[in-house]
């Protein structure tokens, strides 16, 4: 019982100073001073203090009775005054220790993160904002909405739990604070408690609760991080495209082998047809180009397959187109359903046909599918005569340029005849602009 001993000492010290106390009663002299009733008083005080110190060990009724007894004790006013003095003295150290603690940087970090993730802050919008950010990060449009809704739902769940818990903590904190304040106010009748001290106690309680809140925030952050990482990982998760989608993409690729750079519109249409995103189409073509270029031999069989396929389609379409044109059809039948991604590609087609046939092909308006035919033929020729001079344009289709750097960029030359500055990928869309 160090506290008790200290208080006893303090009391001794106070009395040594010779203060008179309330009720005109002097406190007992310090140790060593002889007095006839000194020991008795000391005994008295000792008893009182002992009762105070052990009050918590007793039952409620017993304690209440004791409390009442103490309140009515003749020494109470004197003790009260002494305690006031002790408080006055120790108050300095308390005040010194009571500094405005700066906002915890860790807590601030957590708060910021929760705010950024849409967990904290306004109920509405926050979550969707985070989801939108995640959507932007995924690079896709409204494609992976299933994942989005899943992510959003989970985030909402986290947010709800977080807010519920936070509210619970706040409520508990307030309740406890009120309780403690009431207790202290009540106790201030028996012992000196300044409002400042109550304030300080409230501060301590709040700090304790905020540390609990910090744990809540921390675990919420962790949950969000896990959710987020899972969501982001899901982006990387590879799932093979459907067979149909691959077929559509391959058809386009091999029918545009001379220039496998679909325009933005073409990409969009391919994406729609394949039920994938535009960026997935871009990825696919990027991968396809590089892998085809790296190992043409490996893709030979596949190329033959699609070449034949598109050739048949093209032939049919061409025949139909010719018939249509004969039947007074002034427009280009680009709207054909069999692989008509190259609407603005007639220039390429026209020149290719020229090169192929050796003479100018006046029926250039036959249709987009002719391009497929051209590419198909080009491919078939490339099998035997090599890709380089398949079309008798050695300077344009050098094997070196195809196999190492910028292969198809030169291959787009037919289009660039029309526009010398256009680059790869812009071939299709540029003509339409």
Partner DNA sequence: CGCCATGATTTACC
Partner DNA sequence: GGTAAATCATGGCG
Question: Could you tell me the smallest distance in angstroms from the CB atom of residue 268 to DNA?
Answer: 11
Check residue 296 for interaction with DNA (CB under 7 A): no
Question: Could you tell me the smallest distance in angstroms from the CB atom of residue 272 to DNA?
Answer: 15
Site string for DNA, 241-260 (x = CB under 7 A): x----x--------------
- Do the Cβ atoms of 43 and 51 come closer than 8 Å? no
Q: Which of 236, 327, 328, 358 binds DNA (CB under 7 A)?
A: 236
Question: Could you tell me the smallest distance in angstroms from the CB atom of residue 401 to DNA?
Answer: 10
In the complex with DNA, the residue whose CB is nearer, 187 or 244, is 244
Check residue 424 for interaction with DNA (CB under 7 A): yes
Residue 284: which of 242, 326, 224 has the closest Cα?
A: 242
> Alpha-carbon distance 352 to 346, whole Å?
9
Q: Which of 284, 306, 361, 397 binds DNA (CB under 7 A)?
A: 284
List Cβ neighbours of 367 (8 Å cut-off, separation of 6 or more): 317, 318, 321, 332, 333, 334, 336, 340
Check residue 261 for interaction with DNA (CB under 7 A): yes
Q: Which of 45, 118, 425, 430 binds DNA (CB under 7 A)?
A: 425
Question: How far is residue 423 from each of residues 37, 102, 130, 213, measured CA to CA in Å?
Answer: 111, 58, 37, 58
Check residue 280 for interaction with DNA (CB under 7 A): yes
Helices (H) and strands (E) in the chain, counts: 18, 0
How large is the angle between the packed helices 2-16 and 38-53, nearest 10 degrees? Answer: 140
Footprint of DNA on 16-75 (CB under 7 A): none
Question: Could you tell me the smallest distance in angstroms from the CB atom of residue 173 to DNA?
Answer: 42
Question: Could you tell me the smallest distance in angstroms from the CB atom of residue 198 to DNA?
Answer: 54
Instruction: Look at the block and give the residue holding tokens 């008795």.
Output: 40
Contacting range for DNA; rule: CB under 7 A; set: 23-31, 96-104, 150-158, 284-292: 284-292
- Do the Cβ atoms of 148 and 135 come closer than 8 Å? yes
How large is the angle between the packed helices 369-385 and 346-357, nearest 10 degrees? Answer: 40
* Strand, coil or helix: 184: helix
In the complex with DNA, the residue whose CB is nearer, 19 or 235, is 235
Check residue 200 for interaction with DNA (CB under 7 A): no
Check residue 275 for interaction with DNA (CB under 7 A): no
The footprint of DNA on this chain (CB under 7 A) covers a number of residues equal to: 34
Site string for DNA, 133-152 (x = CB under 7 A): -----xx-------------
Instruction: Look at the block and give the residue holding tokens 């001794």.
Output: 12
Q: Which of 57, 103, 237, 362 binds DNA (CB under 7 A)?
A: 237
> Alpha-carbon distance 374 to 307, whole Å?
10
Question: Could you tell me the smallest distance in angstroms from the CB atom of residue 362 to DNA?
Answer: 31
Contacting range for DNA; rule: CB under 7 A; set: 31-39, 93-101, 127-135, 236-244: 236-244
Question: Could you tell me the smallest distance in angstroms from the CB atom of residue 419 to DNA?
Answer: 16
Residue 28 CB burial class (10 angstroms; 0-12, 13-18, ≥19): buried
> Alpha-carbon distance 346 to 364, whole Å?
7
Site string for DNA, 385-414 (x = CB under 7 A): -------------------xxxxxx-----
Instruction: Look at the block and give the residue holding tokens 């150290």.
Output: 93
Half-sphere exposure of 72 (CA within 13 A, CB side): 6
> Alpha-carbon distance 180 to 174, whole Å?
10
Question: Could you tell me the smallest distance in angstroms from the CB atom of residue 251 to DNA?
Answer: 14
Distance of CA 413 to the CA centre of its chain: 45
In the complex with DNA, the residue whose CB is nearer, 85 or 265, is 265
Check residue 286 for interaction with DNA (CB under 7 A): yes
In the complex with DNA, the residue whose CB is nearer, 28 or 347, is 347
Distance of CA 221 to the CA centre of its chain: 10
- Do the Cβ atoms of 304 and 395 come closer than 8 Å? no
Q: Which of 179, 235, 316, 400 binds DNA (CB under 7 A)?
A: 235
Question: Could you tell me the smallest distance in angstroms from the CB atom of residue 343 to DNA?
Answer: 16
- Do the Cβ atoms of 108 and 89 come closer than 8 Å? no
Q: Which of 291, 357, 392, 400 binds DNA (CB under 7 A)?
A: 291
- Do the Cβ atoms of 38 and 26 come closer than 8 Å? no
- Do the Cβ atoms of 265 and 428 come closer than 8 Å? yes
Check residue 421 for interaction with DNA (CB under 7 A): no
Contacting range for DNA; rule: CB under 7 A; set: 183-191, 283-291, 361-369, 379-387: 283-291
Contacts with DNA by CB under 7 A lie at 138-139, 233, 235-241, 246, 261, 264, 279-280, 282-287, 289-291, 293, 298, 404-409, 424-425
């Amino acid at each position: 019982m160090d506290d008790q001993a200290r208080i006893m000492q303090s009391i001794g010290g106070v009395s040594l100073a010779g203060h008179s106390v309330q009720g005109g009663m002097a406190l007992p002299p310090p140790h060593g001073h002889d007095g006839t009733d000194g020991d008795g008083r000391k005994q008295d005080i000792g008893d009182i203090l002992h009762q105070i110190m052990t009050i918590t060990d007793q039952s409620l009724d017993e304690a209440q009775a004791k409390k009442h007894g103490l309140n009515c004790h003749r020494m109470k006013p004197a003790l009260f005054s002494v305690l006031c003095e002790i408080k006055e003295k120790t108050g300095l150290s308390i005040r010194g220790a009571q500094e405005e603690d700066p906002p915890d940087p860790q807590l601030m970090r957590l708060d910021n993160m929760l705010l950024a993730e849409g967990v904290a802050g306004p109920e509405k919008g926050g979550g969707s904002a985070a989801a939108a950010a995640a959507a932007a990060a995924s690079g896709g449009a409204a494609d992976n909405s299933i994942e989005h809704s899943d992510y959003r739902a989970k985030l909402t769940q986290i947010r709800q739990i977080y807010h519920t818990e936070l509210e619970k903590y706040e409520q508990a904190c307030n309740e406890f604070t009120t309780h403690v304040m009431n207790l202290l106010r009540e106790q201030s009748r028996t012992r000196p408690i300044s409002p400042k001290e109550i304030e300080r106690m409230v501060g301590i309680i709040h700090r304790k609760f905020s540390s609990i809140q910090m744990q809540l925030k921390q675990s919420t952050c962790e949950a969000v991080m896990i959710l987020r990482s899972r969501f982001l990982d899901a982006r990387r998760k590879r799932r093979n495209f459907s067979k149909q989608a691959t077929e559509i993409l391959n058809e386009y690729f091999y029918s545009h082998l001379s220039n496998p750079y679909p325009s933005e519109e073409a990409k969009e249409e391919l994406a729609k047809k394949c039920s994938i995103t535009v960026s997935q189409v871009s990825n696919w073509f990027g991968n396809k180009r590089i892998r085809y270029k790296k190992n043409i031999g490996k893709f030979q069989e596949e190329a033959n397959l699609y070449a034949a396929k598109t050739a048949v389609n093209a032939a049919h379409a061409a025949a139909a187109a010719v018939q249509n044109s004969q039947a007074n059809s002034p427009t280009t039948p680009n709207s054909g359903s069999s692989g008509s991604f190259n609407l603005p590609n007639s220039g390429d087609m026209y020149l290719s046909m020229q090169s192929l046939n050796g003479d100018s092909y006046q029926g250039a308006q036959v249709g987009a599918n002719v391009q497929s035919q051209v590419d198909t033929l080009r491919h078939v020729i490339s099998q035997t005569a090599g890709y380089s001079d398949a079309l008798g344009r050695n300077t344009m289709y050098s094997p070196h340029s195809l196999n190492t750097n910028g292969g198809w960029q030169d291959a787009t030359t037919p289009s660039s005849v029309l526009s010398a500055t256009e680059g790869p990928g812009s071939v299709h869309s540029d003509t339409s602009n």
